[in-house]
Structure 1
Amino acid sequence: MSTYDKVLIRFGDLMLKGKNQKIFRERAIALLKQNTKHLNVALEKRHDRLFLVIQNEDLNAIEQALMHVTGIGSFSFVKSSEKDYDSIVLNAIQVIQNEVKAKKTFKVETKRTDKSLPHTSQEITQILSKGILKEVHELVTVDVRNPEVTLHVEINETEALIYLDSKKGLGGFPVGVAGRGLLLISGGIDSPVAGFLAMKQGVEVEGIHFESTPMTSIESAQKVIELAKKMSVYAYRQEFRLHMVPFFKLHQEIIARISPSYVITVMRRMFFRVSEKLAQKKHALVLITGESIGQVASQTLDSMHTIEAVTTIPIIRPLATTDKQDIIKLSKQIDTYDISIMPFEDCCTIYTPSGSSTKPNIKKALINEKFMVEYDKIIDEIVAQTKTFVITPNSDIRLEQHGFTVTEAWEAMHDHIEGQ
């Protein structure tokens, strides 16, 4: 039987949102219900506190579910108790005996919101400490300055809550409250991490992928689908929309007509042109990329300036100043790393000429693009041909426009890609 009977959930930055706090809390609660619906727990709302009542459920499963909910600042597994001091002492002893496995230094820290109690928080701490130490002196010794274990006791109007520690949640804001953004998602390490960080700040993220079969393999598209599955865990309703853009025709034009040193620059300028048009159709407010300053030739400040000059929509770069090793660490945290390093190339990597310019400028990019015949018409054509797939964690894939089954959706995607 578990030591704990509730989970105390705290909202982090949500508490700073003033008049919008109610909207943010409601979305956070919806996400919480969504992510715990498969567990044997019950939601309990009480004023400014939110609890999960544990009903014979594995604590690790609960923790894993909570770590997929954006907007949660921290949470604690707690033991609830009657408010009288004897009951608190008995329950605190049970928590320590069950959770402390080797002798530790400890202290009691009391907080009371029920001001009708006859003692101050400090006086309550002294009363509780004496009773607890009588029974668990073989497990803990007092150290009020630098304890290894802190026993927290929070006494409110209805009960006392007893817990040892708090676990840090994802923080940020509930996904969706900040509006919609389109993530330019390749098969690499960076873009899924950038999308996750945007989701963590409340952005409803949808993916846009430029597939270029037969230049790229269908496995490259499947790789992006697998990444989308991982990201769908954090999405509202656990559904991630992936827009597959048939880029082959435009890709051919770029390779045939653009100077090798400007191929990548012009290709990414075309990505942004297509993405902006698609964003307008999908009512997205921003584009999101996995760019990190200086990481590759197309991610120098000169390159970024030249590439984004073709758009008016804001570009968000969550990883702009992030070290590569920190990006890899995050990709492992969200379980996308092993997929990202699979050796299937996308259209950014399948043709990367040597000598790509690290300091491209807008004037030269425009001169190069004059050699492309009516590329704006091709852009309109491929935007119209873009297919949207709705992807969930359990491998359920459906074509948004038709509600296909998993098998039908994958066959439709295969036909869509192979037919280009």
Structure 2
Amino acid sequence: MPEPTAEAAPAMDLPARVLEPGLEWRVIVRFSEIALKGRNKDWFMRVLRDNVERALSGLPVSKVTIRPNRCFVHLDDVRAWPEVRTRLRWVFGITNFSLALRTRPDLDALAEAFDILVPEPPASFCVRAQRGEKSFPLTTPEIERALGAAILRKHPMAVDLRNPELTFGVEIQREGAFAFVSHEEGPGGLPVGTSGRVAVLLSGGIDSPVAAYRLMQRGCQVVFVHFTSFPFTDPSSWEKSRELVKLLTRHQFASKLYACQFGYVQQRIVVTVPAELRIIAYRRMMLRVAEAIGRREGCEALGTGESLGQVGSQTLTNMATIDRAAELLVLRPLVAWSKSEITAEAQRIGTYDISIEPDMDCCQFLVPPRVSTHATLEQMEAVERELDVPGLVNLALAHTEVEEFRWPESAPSRS
């Protein structure tokens, strides 16, 4: 499913009766992975509820309630549904959701809801019901048969249980009866904020934004660290990183981007480290700088977009050698992905078009013609003894700027 943008939210021509006064609208938000949690399920649900509230801030939503297996958004103005739909598609932890009309828990009211939601009956339909409130007198199959018969008495249509043109959904819950005609897909995963904080090295290329997205999808709050060779090169990669963070912030509401002018460090490495080991030396130094930033931000791990064997510096030996420069755990969510798989995911989540814009990043500054594919820890420690490693880390931090991003602008800050 392509990632939507708020500016390009699909128009929705609401049926005329949907706008009638006095109707009660809810968005039923469903989640699956959270429902499998044990004693900490309530905490996961609270975080999801808070994230839904933040995503919908500034819209006509009076309340968001949650309980096991369901979250209910009280929508005061149904005309806001297209924007609500767009924003909920960005909230991790949501499996799917539906715009639903709340009615009395009886078949007559549900049949009337069909008339409101479906202005032109389709060629074929079926009724699918869920009975969460077990005190309701009919079983689920009985609800489907009786409600289907009531609708057919007024609207002659074909019944197709396998491939209907329209599925009329009904849920009988303790909050009331709800009728709907669509399921919108959510991004799944876990709510952001449930899995700790990770500092992700963001290059501006195709891979690292996807890695950040996947970590967010597993509940991580991401702090972004970008390395640029500006002012020795143009600032294009820095500008791209801003655009990428701005786009990804819609999944976690608040982000920090640390932009490190790494060229000052590269200048010192290039005069000391043999050419074939420079890329590994750069990467080890980047991890040290990212770790310093991560510890400042309370991060428990680092994240990169590396994929095993994709380029010469990303061999198993080199990755192991690079990792030893940091004490924090290094997460590589794309380590077993192919380039085509990563590219397809970047296109799906909306980062691809930004990532392919031409730039001059630090990996193109003072780069040797070849890189060692088997740089050992002993080799790197030997050449790094000629460097003032703590001094270079401090030099990099001294040339680091931080920028904060929020989405949506009306979202409240989380303490």
Match of 2:137 in 1: 118
Partner residue of 1:373 out of 387, 394, 399: 387
Match of 1:199 in 2: 216
Partner residue of 2:93 out of 54, 71, 74: 71
Stretch moving more, 201-210 or 345-354: 345-354
Match of 1:416 in 2: none
Cα distance, 1:298 vs structure 2: 1.4
Partner residue of 1:85 out of 87, 107, 131: 107
Return closer, same or farther for 1:232/1:162 CA change in 2, 3 Å cut-off.
same
Match of 1:51 in 2: 72
Return closer, same or farther for 1:230/1:150 CA change in 2, 3 Å cut-off.
same
Cα distance in 1, alignment partners of residues 130 and 291 from structure 2: 52
Cα distance in 2, alignment partners of residues 76 and 176 from structure 1: 24
Match of 2:151 in 1: 132
Write out aligned runs for 1:395-406 (5 A). Answer: none
CA contact (8 A) 1:9 1:72 kept: yes
Match of 2:34 in 1: 14
Cα distance, 1:393 vs structure 2: 4.9
Cα distance in 1, alignment partners of residues 330 and 286 from structure 2: 13
Write out aligned runs for 1:248-259 (5 A). Answer: 248-259=263-274
Stretch moving more, 69-78 or 384-393: 384-393
Return closer, same or farther for 1:123/1:289 CA change in 2, 3 Å cut-off.
same
Indicate whether 1:162 and 2:179 are aligned: yes
Which stretches in structure 2 are left out of the alignment for 5+ residues? 1-13, 19-23, 411-415
Indicate whether 1:108 and 2:130 are aligned: no
Match of 2:401 in 1: 387
Indicate whether 1:308 and 2:308 are aligned: no
Cα distance in 1, alignment partners of residues 332 and 56 from structure 2: 31
Match of 1:324 in 2: 339
Cα distance in 2, alignment partners of residues 340 and 97 from structure 1: 44
Cα distance in 1, alignment partners of residues 234 and 170 from structure 2: 58
Indicate whether 1:150 and 2:167 are aligned: yes
Paired amino acid for 1:312: E
Indicate whether 1:42 and 2:62 are aligned: yes
Cα distance, 1:288 vs structure 2: 0.5
Match of 1:241 in 2: 256
Match of 2:279 in 1: 264
Which stretches in structure 1 are left out of the alignment for 5+ residues? 397-420
Cα distance, 1:117 vs structure 2: 3.2
Paired amino acid for 1:168: E
Match of 1:409 in 2: none
SS of the aligned residue for 1:321 comes to: coil
Return closer, same or farther for 1:56/1:93 CA change in 2, 3 Å cut-off.
closer
Match of 1:399 in 2: none
SS of the aligned residue for 1:18 comes to: coil
Cα distance, 1:264 vs structure 2: 0.8
Cα distance in 2, alignment partners of residues 281 and 143 from structure 1: 59
**Matched positions, count:** 388
After superposition, give the CA deviation of every residue in 1:7-59 in whole Å (9 maximum; x if it has no partner): 10112322222222222222212211111112223324264432223313243
User: Normalising by the residue count of structure 2, what TM-score does the alignment of the two structures yield?
Assistant: 0.86
* Aligned CA-pair RMSD: 2.3
> Percent identity, aligned pairs only?
31
Cα distance in 1, alignment partners of residues 389 and 205 from structure 2: 27
CA contact (8 A) 1:43 1:50 kept: no
